[in-house]
Amino acid sequence: MGTIHTKGIFLDTNLSQIYGMLKRMMAKILVVDDEQSVTDLLVYNLRKAHYDVLVAANGIEALSLARQIAPDLILLDLMIPEIDGLDVCRELRKTSDVPIIMLTARGEEVDRVVGLELGADDYVCKPFSVRELLSRIKAVLRRLQPETNKHTSTTILHGPGGMQLDVERRMVNIEGNVLDLTRLEFDVLHMLLDNPGRVLTRERLLEQAWGYEFVGDTRTVDSAIKRLRAKLRTVSPQAEAIVAVRGVGYRINP
C-alpha cells in the first residue's frame, strides 16, 4: 500500500478509493426543474448536506436519468417542459416506487392532490424553505429503512375480511390478493390496524405517515383514505371497514 509524503503528513493512496466508496454510500437525489436559479439553490444545498445530486431540466431527461441511475429520491417540479411532472410521476410509478417529492406553486392545489394520488410521497410549495425541504427529504429517506418503520413488535397485523398486513415486507394480502398501495396508503392502513377501533385524527395520521409535523392541507389524508377504501372494496367488501368520524378523523372496525 503506497503513501505520499507531503509536509510531514502521510496520505494513504487508498483515500481516493475510500472517498469513492463513501460517495457511493450517499443517497442519490435527482433534481428535476427547468428554473436555473432553483436548480442552483437545490444542488448547492443538497451537496452541502452530503447528497449525490444529478439534474434534469425536462420530463424526457428526468425519465431517462431515473432509469439509468436509479436515484434514491426525486425532487420533481410539476411545471417542466416536454413532459410535465404529473406525467413523469405517472410513468415512473408503472415500474418504480422511488420516493418522489413534488415541487409546486402555491396555487396548484389540484395538481398536488393529483400528484399524491399518482403515488408521490410528499410536496413542497414554492417558494420553499431549504431547511424544511431537507427535513422532508430526511423523513422520506428514513421511512425507507425497515428498522425505523417498525412502531409495533407484531410482524403481521390482521384486519377485517381476512386482511393481513406484513409490516416488514410492507405488503397487504386479502385472501390471496396482494393490494397495490402507495407508501402513504400503506402507512395510513398500518396505523389504523395498529389501533383497532380507536379514532385517529387526520393530523396524527399525516404526522405519523410523513415522519414529521405536517404543515399543509389535512384533506390529503381524506384523499388517501378514499383511494384506500376503493382498493379494499375491489378485493373484498368486508375488508373495507374504515369509518369516518366527522370533524375528527378515522378508525377501522376490528
At 24-62, the pLDDT tens digits run 458 999 999 999 999 999 999 999 999 999 999 999 999
Top pLDDT among 151 and 82 is at 82
Boundaries of domain holding 181:
147-252
pLDDT of residue 89: 93
Q: Are residues 44 and 99 in the same domain?
A: yes
Q: Are residues 171 and 203 in the same domain?
A: yes
Q: What SS3 class is residue 151?
A: coil
Q: Are residues 133 and 235 in the same domain?
A: no
pLDDT of residue 64: 96
CATH code of 113's domain: 3.40.50.2300
Q: Tell me, yes or no, whether 1 lies in a domain.
A: no
Residue the block writes with cell 507531503: 6
Q: Tell me, yes or no, whether 89 lies in a domain.
A: yes
pLDDT of residue 61: 97
Among the ranges 43-47, 143-147, 235-239, which has the highest mean pLDDT value? 43-47
Question: Where among 144, 178, 198 does a domain terminate?
Answer: 144
Half-sphere CA count of 239, side-chain side, radius 13 A: 24
pLDDT of residue 18: 52
CA distance 58 to 80: 5
Stretch 76-82: mean pLDDT, rounded? 94
Q: Tell me, yes or no, whether 6 lies in a domain.
A: no
151, pLDDT greater than 60: no
Amino acid at 152: T
pLDDT of residue 168: 84
CA distance 135 to 65: 24
Give the least confident one: 45-49, 124-128, 160-164, 214-218: 214-218
pLDDT of residue 113: 75
CATH code of 151's domain: 1.10.10.10
pLDDT band for 240, please (50, 70, 90 cuts).
confident
pLDDT of residue 149: 44
247 phi-psi bin (left φ>0, alpha ψ -120 to 50, beta other): left
CA distance 34 to 224: 29
Q: What SS3 class is residue 70?
A: coil
- DSSP track, 103-134: EEETT-HHHHHHHHHHT--EEEEES--HHHHH
173, pLDDT greater than 60: yes
CA distance 55 to 42: 10
**11 and 4 Cβ atoms separated by less than 8 Å:** yes
- Number of independent structural domains in the chain: 2
Question: Where among 115, 144, 173 does a domain terminate?
Answer: 144
**150 and 158 Cβ atoms separated by less than 8 Å:** no
Q: Tell me, yes or no, whether 105 lies in a domain.
A: yes
* Residue 129 neighbours by CB under 8 Å, 6+ apart: none
67, pLDDT greater than 90: yes
6 pairs with which residues across the strands? 9
171, pLDDT greater than 50: yes
**120 and 100 Cβ atoms separated by less than 8 Å:** yes
Which uninterrupted H or E stretch holds 53?
Answer: strand 52-56
Q: Are residues 169 and 186 in the same domain?
A: yes
Question: Where among 144, 177, 206 does a domain terminate?
Answer: 144
Mean pLDDT of the chain: 82
Dump pLDDT digits (tens) for 97-125. Answer: 899 999 988 666 677 778 877 888 888 88
Q: Tell me, yes or no, whether 2 lies in a domain.
A: no
pLDDT of residue 25: 55
**59 and 35 Cβ atoms separated by less than 8 Å:** no
CA distance 141 to 93: 17
Q: Are residues 120 and 158 in the same domain?
A: no
CA distance 238 to 241: 7
247, pLDDT greater than 80: yes
Give the least confident one: 14-28, 134-148, 191-205: 14-28
152, pLDDT greater than 50: no
